[in-house]
Chains A and B, each alone.
Chain A
Amino acid sequence: EDQVTQSPEALRLQEGESSSLNCSYTVSGLRGLFWYRQDPGKGPEFLFTLYSAGEEKEKERLKATLTKKESFLHITAPKPEDSATYLCAVRNYGQNFVFGPGTRLSVLP
């Protein structure tokens, strides 16, 4: 069965303190790994899609990387507005999206 786990469950950082979020997955044929940001009570906002091991994508203070078993979301010099839940999802050959539980990030000023 396809599965996605994320760690840590919650993370508190001081403004400017860089860190990484982890997404580990087992999937029957990866058709893409997706990162989303979700603010409380709102729908997930698309960040990145990664398709193959070794691929990297960047957007402002965020950088996503992918290996055969996991993905990392690196946050460089975070700001309070980066506080949100970060969701990882994989798409399998059945075209379904399987989401992880998310990592709740708090960035303190």
Chain B
Amino acid sequence: DAGVTQSPTHLIKTRGQQVTLRCSPKSGHDTVSWYQQALGQGPQFIFQYYEEEERQRGNFPDRFSGHQFPNYSSELNVNALLLGDSALYLCASSFGTGEETQYFGPGTRLLVL
């Protein structure tokens, strides 16, 4: 049973560029959430996708956008990258939007120069 997978594992971009990160949920899961984790801090909630729609959003600017596909996989897009966007980006999947536990992928390490 494959767990949550993310690609790429590492990425280096320069300020002002755009980036797309990808996530495939755990088998049987239909909900994907994205988190940003700065070094030494806990993950910060960006948004959650269910039934191909954004259901919840954290305190992140519109530069952060996402998409969920019919097969439940998801993308996170970040436009006009800033140095402060350097972080570990985590994807978590769950079944439904109720009280189910979220399971995390290995993350994508983004470095903005």
Interfacial residues, chain A to chain B (CB-CB below 8 A): 4, 31-32, 34, 36, 41-46, 49, 51, 87, 89, 91, 94-102
Instruction: For A36, list chain B residues within 8 Å (CB).
Output: 104
A45 touches B104 (CB 8 A): yes
Q: How far is the CA of A96 from the CA of B99 in the complex (A)?
A: 10
A43 touches B99 (CB 8 A): no
Instruction: For B48, list chain A residues within 8 Å (CB).
Output: 95-96
A29 CB → nearest B CB, Å: 12
Instruction: For A94, list chain B residues within 8 Å (CB).
Output: 56
Contact of A97 among B41, B45, B103, B107 (CB under 8 A): B45
Tell whether A42 pairs with B103 under 8 Å between CB atoms, given A98-B45, A99-B42: no
A85 CB → nearest B CB, Å: 9
A to B CB contacts below 8 Å, 11 in the list: A32-B101, A41-B88, A46-B104, A91-B99, A97-B33, A97-B35, A97-B43, A97-B45, A99-B45, A100-B42, A101-B40
Contact of A41 among B101, B102, B109 (CB under 8 A): B109
A44 touches B56 (CB 8 A): no
B106 touches A42 (CB 8 A): yes
Tell whether A43 pairs with B101 under 8 Å between CB atoms, given A97-B45, A98-B45: no
Q: Mark B25-63, 1 if CB is under 8 A from A, else 0.
A: 000000001010000111111001000000110100000
